[in-house]
Amino acid sequence: MKSLNTVLLTASLAFISASACAGHRHHGYDKAKVVRASPIYETARYRVDEQVCWEEQVWQRHHSNAFPTVAGAVIGGVVGNQVVHGDGRALATVAGAAIGGTVGYQLSKNHTQRGAYPVNRTRCEVQPGWRTEPYISGWDVEYRYRGSIYHTRMPERPGKHIRVRVNPMPAAYYPGR
């Protein structure tokens, strides 16, 4: 009879243990159904340097052109060289170049406008700017476990179920109740 009681007691303990662990596939964990998952948005602000360009009017002075002076000196030198023959030919070439250069300079000076004139120029500079961009920083999750609704925050979007930790705690013992 004693062995029958032992067998029945062992079977009862095994059955109670199995039913207590039912639904707990892994020790201390279970699955809960996700009821709602809402993204949590935050805004990132970052610096962006932008090049800004615009047209502006500036005043530019007339610059003299050296071409008429050089051309006059060359022509004067050639003419001086052709006119004089003999020992004075080198001196005539130099004198012709000087006279031709002076005439060319005076002609260019008379035809060049004096003062300044307006010119449009493109001007650019780098200006600091700021941009904002929303991003998902986490998820507010509402889930149901054994008939009760719970809330948590998760770093990633959950699926249809989430894994929950099951931590059974003993109830307070009050003798005589």
| pLDDT for residue 71 | 79
Contact between 78 and 97 (Cβ < 8 Å): no
What is the rounded distance in angstroms from the CA atom of residue 74 to the CA atom of residue 88? 18
pLDDT of residue 150 exceeding 90, the answer is: yes
The stretch 151-159 carries a mean pLDDT of: 95
Note whether residue 91 is domain-resident: yes
pLDDT of residue 2 exceeding 60, the answer is: no
- Per-residue pLDDT of 117-141, as tens digits, reads 888 999 999 999 999 999 999 999 9
Name the pTM for this structure: 0.41
Higher pLDDT, 63 or 103: 103
pLDDT of residue 26 exceeding 70, the answer is: no
Quick one: 75 exposed, middle or buried, by C-beta within 10 A (0-12, 13-18, 19+)? middle
Note whether residue 108 is domain-resident: yes
Mean pLDDT across the chain: 80
Note whether residue 150 is domain-resident: no
Confidence of residue 145 (pLDDT cuts 50, 70, 90): very high
Note whether residue 74 is domain-resident: yes
Contact between 124 and 135 (Cβ < 8 Å): no
Residues forming a β-bridge with 129: 48
| pLDDT for residue 23 | 47
Confidence of residue 17 (pLDDT cuts 50, 70, 90): low
Note whether residue 41 is domain-resident: no
Contact between 92 and 81 (Cβ < 8 Å): yes
As for how many domains the chain has, the answer is 1
Angle at 23 between CA 17 and CA 27, to 5 degrees: 70
Residues forming a β-bridge with 117: 60
Note whether residue 102 is domain-resident: yes
Number of residues written out for the chain = 177
- Per-residue pLDDT of 78-87, as tens digits, reads 777 777 777 7
Note whether residue 76 is domain-resident: yes
- pLDDT over 90 percentage in the chain: 41
Q: Domain range for residue 81?
A: 63-112
pLDDT of residue 101 exceeding 80, the answer is: no
Complete edge-to-edge strand list for the sheet that includes strand 116-145 = 148-154, 116-145, 29-61, 161-165
Contact between 69 and 104 (Cβ < 8 Å): yes
